[in-house]
Structure 1
Amino acid sequence: MAPNNRYPRDGSPQQVGIHYRSLHPGRPGRGSAAWTAAASPPRSSTPRSPASPGTASSETPTSGAPTRPGPGGSCTGSQPGTAGLRIATLDLAAVFTHCTSLAATCSYKRTAKTCYHHHIVPTPDRRICVVVVVVHLQQGVVIVLIQQVVVVVLIQQAGTGVLIATRARPLRRNINDLQASGAQWDLYILGLAAMQRDEPETEKLSYFQISGIHGRPFIPWNGVQAVSGGSGGGYCPHGNVQFPMWHRPYLALFEQVLGGHIQAIAANYTGSRAQEYKTAADNWRAPYWDWAADGGAQLPPVTTQTTMTVNGPGGRVQLPNPLLGYRWQRFPLNTASEYFPTRGDRNCWGWPQTTRWPNGNGNSRPSLANQELSQDDLKAITYNVFTTATTFETMASTGSTGNSFESLHNSVHGAIYAVMAYIEYAAFDPLFMLHHANVDRLIAMWQAIHYNNKVQTRTSRSGALFATAANTPITADSPLKPFYRDTAGNFHTGRTASDIKNFGYSYPEISDWNLSPDALARQVTVSVNRLYGPGGGGGGTSSSRKLKARHAHHNHRRSGCSKRGLTSSAAASPPEGHAEAAHKEYTALVDLERSELPLPCSISVYVNGEFAGKVSVMSMPAAGVMHSTVPLNKALEKLGKSMDVPESRANGTGPATNGTAAPPPPPPAVSPEDREIIQKQLSVEIKSIDGTIFPVSSAPSLKIKVELQHVETPLSEDSLPTVIPVTTGPLAKPIEHSTSY
């Protein structure tokens, strides 16, 4: 057959006009990897062309409906208009030329009647997809089957905002800053609305399907099937050392798909603002909600408004606020048991949209969420993780003893209530990605400080997950299913996901492209101290406020601050001996077995009737030992206890640089009066999400230990406090909380 001259030899997608749209053979779901071209062009907010970033197709739809493959995944496509191509008139050479010109790289095997094309294709939404094109020649008719697998990775090229020369990457920004950004904010709101509204919930890259990876509807995504010995629940590991790194490619997937909608919308702006919006789209990254910073422990006001007004391509436009909640496209979505929400689904409270503390009419009540968020000192707890978690395992998960970012993460989920309180539903609330972007940010900051400890070092055992059997050994090289990292079928691992530069974004505190690891660690430490430390803007306990004043005084006396806020090497060197001031920190260490509790629930801790804090226990996993902490200082100070360590003890002589000074005496043990109030009057209350109080005896595994530490304040901002363990005393039995105190 001679080449068809209607199709140029360069095979550019604009001229040939192929649009890739996912197919889901059989029941609606995620199980199929078969993709084919659509008969109609995509909406502007739904880019699917395999063109390089920034290109768009100009295809005019052909007549006839596309042939959708059945469960076998084959595509005969002999009718005119099938797959958007008049394939009966398109010869093998033209298809071959077109396919081989699509991608940056191409390997293929060709026989007399069949071509196999394996492409790595950069797409407009900044994903890389592997596209396999199988072309059959049967009786003079070309039959095309296209298969596509999503690979979560970001390419470094034009249209992504990544500067190859400097390695600088666009920043994920605080949502409050993004709101004031103009063009990027307009695109974010319009793009998120389009992603929620325009993609059918059966599409693999729809808002619904991406949210469903985390939990419900418990069906395969991207062809990654359930395994024997798994839970049949979601893919996401909680209470597991994989928790932080699993969420990193998950957020990257959401960011890249949403970025594709944003790119498509930006292309519709014309005139003098066209370039502004194109640049804004290239550099857009998903925002975060910093609930730990001063004033951050409340829902971002913009997420509580019912409508939004932004600048669209055609002028000002008002639309329902996509940050308020996700509205199911059909309600109930499906009556089959594996789908939700049905009208009887109590976890969705029977409403056609996600909610936060809903009233009887299904309207969210943000004031109640804010009240819950303010109960826990999220700022102080965040700082405690930075100052006390010295291993990846401790920082990462409630599966290890001590302060962890996962425990903090649980507190925020529980405070927002309703959909966010149930792990299997939580990702449908638009707050989920804002929340998890902040968790990822805190983890990335911790990794920058502990740059020699960025991945797990000890083998652990996994609980049962959708695609992971129970008791599977977990290392830094174990797969993070269902997220592929390359075209050979390899999954991301804790090691490949440990560096945010692999995903093409950064955070305001992390400019790792122009600093050495040590300099970056010091820069990030300055940010941690300023944002969350006792010298970082007020708040905290009275002892921490006193330390703030001392910290500020000594920072004023010292010289050598650089423009980046780092002290010079001379200023950064600590004086002979220890830090100038110290305070005592009491912490309740809480251990429990989840299966004994009504999940989700909270465990509130009281000191002599004074509320100290609570532990949020999520709905998943249903079993396994969990570790968390509750700071006790604020409650003790309300009871009149001083947390200060005498100055003479804090300024004891330590080893000098020449090693001649004597070491300081050991810190004093816990005082008898403090021991008495903690051991005899510490009480707990177990409360399920519906408000039911459960007796402490219903959780025989519940154990609480009280830990005392001395925390010595550093004299320079690029150092974290020195934490000295003093004693840990176990409680013989937790006491039932009573309002009679």
Structure 2
Amino acid sequence: MGQTCSSPLKQCISDPAPPNKLKVRYSLRELEKLYDSDENPKLLEDFMTAWDMIKKKDATDLRGFFAIGGFHGEPFVGAGAIDTNYWGGYCNHGNVLFPTWHRVYLKKLEEALDLAVPGVALAYWDETSEESLRYGIPHSLTDELFHYKTPDENGKYRDPIKNPLRSYTFPVEVEDANNGDKVYKKPEGYETVRYPLSGLVGTEEARSKSELHNSQFPSIEEQVKLLNKNVIAWLTGTEPVENVDSDDPKKVNLYKNFKECLAAPTYTLFSNTTSANEHNKKELGKQIIPLESPHNTIHLAVGGYDEPGLEAGIITGANGDMGENNTAGFDPIFYLHHCNIDRMFWLWQKIHNCTDKLVIDEKDKGAQSNTFAHGGQGPVVNFPSDVTLTMSTPLTPFMVNEETDQRMYTSYDVVNIEKQLGYTYSEGSLSSIRKSVLRSDGTVKGHGKLLNVSGIDRTLFAGSFVIAAYAEIDGQKRMIGYETILNPWRVEGCANCQNHLVVNFTFNLESLSLAEVESAIFSVTISHRGEELPDDFTYETEVVGGAEKSIARASK
């Protein structure tokens, strides 16, 4: 299906043939260092100039940032804008096309940057680098202004510009036409925000709440400080540790999840949360962390959630754009985050000898176009809910070439980034990891006990939320894990979601001894957009795995 671009509302944009010379995608901090040292400031200058240019293009220009940002979520188009059987946007989440669809998506943005300033490549935020673990987000993503060091072609020094990576101002109004929901509408002139701010402005009530919340943080310097504090907490865990590269299972942190996702044995399990969650429920003692899991967590860390268990600096009411799929694609940091996700994808391919071939298990539940029943999303635009996703499935709405090859990209077209797409990555963090040092089969050490959490109704929560599981032992509460869920803003309005409302998760209990597992009282907390938990919120916990199965404990 979809051999041509059929949507009258959102046209496809073509991709030129890969250049003879590979483009190198550097980390943003590498560009900063070249700029600060005066060794090659032009790389960062050209990058900023290109971003500034595409953001200033007309909203109807398919090479402009508004059009490209809209491919991910809002503004919903075609069937996605009027039919509640769809989630609304084109992006794939919770299914096997998550890595490949976003790979093409990044290529389209990079192409637009290259057209603005020839030779410019995307850059990535190296989220597991020593600098990120210590300082948080690169300053080039949060500075208010960017200053040029080199003169232009006329020998004149250019004036500073407003930092194009810090935010984006909407040139036109955008709203979630699907379901008639107005809370997440963005008016013309709205500027994207990040933690600790709130960007809910679609109704008078929501706007008033956001204005009151944001008035607590008038200083941009303080906003950046709180954002970095939150990101560092997610990356490094809830307890101070001396060695972030430790294999200590007691550490619950994003760095560890990024590293362990590289151990996933197959592309299907590596690619998405649906496949990994189903595997983890069936294959007790062999737990897989998919790439999509740490990906989701970064979205919420930047968009508006405190790291579970953090005792200082708790800020409720933050609703940044990165925290929702609806508008995440309009925050420039989205693309540097996803560039790192694509880099991790490429690292996984090299570790597992999959640089020239990927295999999708078409019988897996993550290979279905509608994965909402398993914590994913409804089908994307133009896809029925019962389609099996394969390597040949079109990655809509992206054409290979409108003139010479009028067909949609498929995953077959984007397996090898160097041979097929013409780019590669610099040597970032985790690049030196080899398969021999990873838990290649995801096997849990020790007793093999796991905690199943089930019965959580997604309709009770507006937008994304975080589930954190705890074990209380001898009166002391210890967090054993968390899951981040990029939830639609209004689940109850999605027709395909009505029979798929309950989500289940499995947490590894290897940080506890067998005696602690047997005596522990397990509980769950939910961090969500609302002010308090709904009265009818319930869930169940059950310890499984190992030699025997424990008695189920139901909790609220």
Task: Provide TM-score, normalisation by structure 2.
Answer: 0.69
The residue number in structure 1 matching 2:67 is 209
2 CA distance for matches of 1:682 and 1:175?
41
Does the C-alpha gap of structure 1 residues 321 and 526 become closer, same or farther in structure 2, counting only changes over 3 Å?
closer
CA contact (8 A) 2:351 2:434 kept: no
CA contact (8 A) 2:400 2:409 kept: yes
Q: How does 1:190-209 map to 2 (within 5 A)?
A: 190-197=49-56, 199-209=57-67
Q: CA deviation at 1:353?
A: 0.4
Does the C-alpha gap of structure 1 residues 336 and 249 become closer, same or farther in structure 2, counting only changes over 3 Å?
closer
Q: How does 1:447-526 map to 2 (within 5 A)?
A: 447-452=349-354, 454-459=358-363, 460-463=367-370, 464-486=379-401, 487-501=404-418, 502-509=420-427
2 CA distance for matches of 1:347 and 1:32?
19
Q: CA deviation at 1:627?
A: 6.5
- Give the counterpart of 1:310 among 148, 160, 165: 148
The residue number in structure 1 matching 2:124 is 288
Q: Secondary structure at the match of 1:474?
A: coil
1 CA distance for matches of 2:504 and 2:340?
22
The residue number in structure 2 matching 1:244 is 99
The residue type equivalent to 1:360 in the other structure is N
- Give the counterpart of 2:469 among 605, 608, 621: 605
Q: Secondary structure at the match of 2:60?
A: coil
2 CA distance for matches of 1:469 and 1:187?
42
- Give the counterpart of 1:174 among 9, 27, 50: 27
2 CA distance for matches of 1:243 and 1:288?
18
CA contact (8 A) 2:175 2:184 kept: no
CA contact (8 A) 2:170 2:188 kept: no
2 CA distance for matches of 1:472 and 1:227?
20
1:31 and 2:9 aligned: yes
Does the C-alpha gap of structure 1 residues 689 and 456 become closer, same or farther in structure 2, counting only changes over 3 Å?
same
The residue type equivalent to 1:390 in the other structure is P
1 CA distance for matches of 2:188 and 2:175?
16
* Highest RCO, 1 vs 2 (Cα 8 Å, sep ≥ 6): 2
Q: Secondary structure at the match of 2:406?
A: coil
The residue number in structure 1 matching 2:165 is 323
1 CA distance for matches of 2:448 and 2:141?
35
The residue type equivalent to 1:454 in the other structure is L
The residue number in structure 1 matching 2:272 is 397
CA contact (8 A) 1:172 1:507 kept: yes
Residues 604-649 of structure 1: per-residue CA shift (max 9 Å, x gap): 122222233421111249445766665666xx5xxxx6xxxxxxxx
Identity score, percent: 23
- Give the counterpart of 2:433 among 524, 528, 535: 528
The residue number in structure 2 matching 1:370 is 228
Q: Secondary structure at the match of 1:611?
A: strand
Residues 246-292 of structure 1: per-residue CA shift (max 9 Å, x gap): 100000000110121122xxxxxxxxxxxxxxxxxx3x321111222
1 CA distance for matches of 2:85 and 2:50?
36
The residue type equivalent to 1:244 in the other structure is P
The residue number in structure 1 matching 2:108 is 253
Residues 193-227 of structure 1: per-residue CA shift (max 9 Å, x gap): 11112x1112222101100000100125xxx9989
Does the C-alpha gap of structure 1 residues 349 and 295 become closer, same or farther in structure 2, counting only changes over 3 Å?
farther
2 CA distance for matches of 1:620 and 1:728?
37
CA contact (8 A) 1:325 1:430 kept: yes
The residue type equivalent to 1:407 in the other structure is S
1 CA distance for matches of 2:114 and 2:85?
33
Q: Secondary structure at the match of 1:482?
A: coil
- Give the counterpart of 1:188 among 47, 53, 63: 47
Q: How does 1:64-75 map to 2 (within 5 A)?
A: none
Q: CA deviation at 1:457?
A: 3.0
- Give the counterpart of 2:525 among 647, 663, 685: 685
2 CA distance for matches of 1:32 and 1:438?
27
CA contact (8 A) 1:230 1:465 kept: no
The residue type equivalent to 1:505 in the other structure is Y
Q: Secondary structure at the match of 2:432?
A: helix
- Give the counterpart of 1:446 among 328, 336, 348: 348
The residue number in structure 1 matching 2:117 is 262
If each structure's strand is expressed as a fraction of its own residues, which one has the higher value? 1
1 CA distance for matches of 2:174 and 2:186?
15
The residue type equivalent to 2:106 in the other structure is L
CA contact (8 A) 1:396 1:406 kept: yes
Aligned residues between the structures: 436
2 CA distance for matches of 1:606 and 1:348?
37
The residue type equivalent to 1:194 in the other structure is M
Q: CA deviation at 1:151?
A: 1.6
1 CA distance for matches of 2:145 and 2:380?
38
Q: CA deviation at 1:451?
A: 2.3
Q: CA deviation at 1:32?
A: 7.1
Output the aligned Cα RMSD: 3.7
- Give the counterpart of 1:156 among 6, 10, 19: 19
Q: CA deviation at 1:328?
A: 1.8
Long gaps (5+) in structure 2: 1-6, 35-40, 198-212, 238-252, 278-287, 305-319, 371-378, 440-444, 492-496
The residue type equivalent to 1:527 in the other structure is S
1:379 and 2:255 aligned: yes
1 CA distance for matches of 2:555 and 2:164?
45
Q: CA deviation at 1:360?
A: 2.1
Q: CA deviation at 1:310?
A: 1.8
Long gaps (5+) in structure 1: 1-28, 34-148, 163-168, 264-281, 511-523, 535-543, 545-581, 642-670, 708-725, 737-741
Does the C-alpha gap of structure 1 residues 414 and 691 become closer, same or farther in structure 2, counting only changes over 3 Å?
farther
2 CA distance for matches of 1:398 and 1:335?
29
CA contact (8 A) 1:703 1:731 kept: no
1 CA distance for matches of 2:448 and 2:224?
32
The residue number in structure 2 matching 1:413 is 299
The residue number in structure 2 matching 1:70 is none
1 CA distance for matches of 2:525 and 2:334?
27
The residue type equivalent to 1:436 in the other structure is H
Task: Provide TM-score, normalisation by structure 1.
Answer: 0.53
CA contact (8 A) 2:399 2:408 kept: yes
Does the C-alpha gap of structure 1 residues 498 and 32 become closer, same or farther in structure 2, counting only changes over 3 Å?
closer
2 CA distance for matches of 1:296 and 1:628?
28
The residue type equivalent to 1:156 in the other structure is P
